[in-house]
Amino acid sequence: MISLHFGRSALAAAGLALALHCNPASADTILFVGNSFTYGDPAGGPPTVRNYQTNTVTDLNGTNIGGVPALFKALTDQAGLDYTVSLETVGGTGLDYHYTNKLPLLDKPWDHVVLQSYSTLDSAAPGNPTKLIQYASLFADVLTAQNPDVNINLMATWSRADQTYQPGGAWYGQPISAMQADVQAGYEAAKANNSKIDAVIPVGAAWNAAMEAGIADPNPYDGIAPGLINLWAPDNYHASAYGYYLEALVVFGSITGIDPLSLGENERVARDLGFTSEQALALQQIAHNQVAVPEPASILLLASGIAGLVCMRRRSRATAAQG
């Protein structure tokens, strides 16, 4: 008897196969804008996330970064998808910085965009989403002017252990989930402020879920419990390789609509980063739980429709290119 997990993966693959019967077309383009929470600093272990397969993505700043965008590229390649991936990242910045200083690099027609702002929403006023709301909206207006069909996503990041467990932290004395809840709310407010923004990618919520499920340790300051992973880097601020991998999985599922569990225990990025198959599957399960993926019956009903839409999109692009 075919297992439910196998059935979902097989049906998803069948839907993709139908889509691939269309005439070939150019790859979907995706742009990542963010800071070190996107580019993968500090290092999570060899090979570092920041330096992961830098030749597979385009760093618009010319700083030779792979980061989470390169992890995403590797995941999509394994799923049989074709994405041209670009990134523009600067450490310690919010969307206001990128809009003010980098807009000429970004003001182009993209198919998908992932925008990530400062980890506390505002470095000068932690928890205040005003700047995020303002600049996410400005970006949405610029991006849709270039491509009205662009898929714009905001990426809500994780709670910082240093902001939660250390005196002086903006969320000191509160549960580890509190900062993430405030960050998520800020991104949701930014989405609600401009209808051109399509979704909020719940990376921070996935981190909380990993802790609640007993996969990740919730407090690195009191040591990592046996058998648990640490999603944070040694600074208890950035992510470890595990944390960035979980981020990439959630982005992968959110952008492609493909179940992260379909990648399987032998997934290449996890293997490159030195994870066990059990750790890879556990993190894929957490990402699966955060991402809306079709149930088996729905996949078959949608497969032909998806294939048709893909064909139509490819033909319209080809026509536009000839015009």
Q: 177-235: per-residue pLDDT in tens? A: 999 999 999 999 999 999 999 999 999 999 999 999 999 999 999 999 999 999 999 99
Q: How confident is the model at residue 105 (pLDDT cuts 50, 70, 90)?
A: very high
Decide if 91 contacts 107 (C-beta within 8 A): no
Q: For the chain, give the percent of residues with pLDDT over 90.
A: 80
Does residue 10 sit within a domain?
Answer: no
Three-state secondary-structure class, residue 156: strand
Does residue 19 sit within a domain?
Answer: no
Three-state secondary-structure class, residue 151: strand
Report how far residue 19's alpha carbon sits from residue 309's, in angstroms, rounded to the nearest whole number: 8
Mean pLDDT score of the chain: 88
**Closest C-alpha among 48, 3, 19, 7 to residue 239:** 48
Does residue 317 sit within a domain?
Answer: no
Q: How confident is the model at residue 47 (pLDDT cuts 50, 70, 90)?
A: confident
pTM: predicted TM-score of the whole model, two decimal places: 0.86
Q: How many domains does the chain have?
A: 1
Decide if 109 contacts 150 (C-beta within 8 A): yes
pLDDT digits (tens, 9 = 90+) for 268-285: 999 999 999 999 999 999
Cα torsion for 85, 90, 93, 96, to the nearest 10°?
-60
Interval 16-36 mean pLDDT: 72
- Note the helical H segments in the chain: 4-20, 36-39, 67-78, 95-101, 103-106, 130-146, 161-165, 176-193, 203-212, 241-256, 268-272, 277-290, 296-322
Determine which helix (DSSP H) or strand (DSSP E) holds 118, and give its type and residue range. none
Q: Which residue has the tokens 């991006």?
A: 143
pLDDT at position 292 is 74
Q: How far is CA 128 from the centre of its chain?
A: 22
Does residue 4 sit within a domain?
Answer: no
Bond preceding residue 148 cis, omega within 30 of 0: no
Question: Distances in Å between the alpha carbon of 76 and those of 85, 111, 248, 274?
Answer: 10, 15, 10, 20
Decide if 273 contacts 43 (C-beta within 8 A): no
Does residue 3 sit within a domain?
Answer: no
Does residue 247 sit within a domain?
Answer: yes
Does residue 320 sit within a domain?
Answer: no
Does residue 292 sit within a domain?
Answer: yes
Sheet containing strand 151-156, strands side by side:
58-59, 83-89, 28-34, 112-115, 151-156, 199-202
Domain containing residue 299: CATH number: 3.40.50.1110
Interval 287-293 mean pLDDT: 90
Domain that holds residue 125: 28-310
Interval 288-303 mean pLDDT: 63
pLDDT at position 295 is 58
| CA R_g for the chain | 19
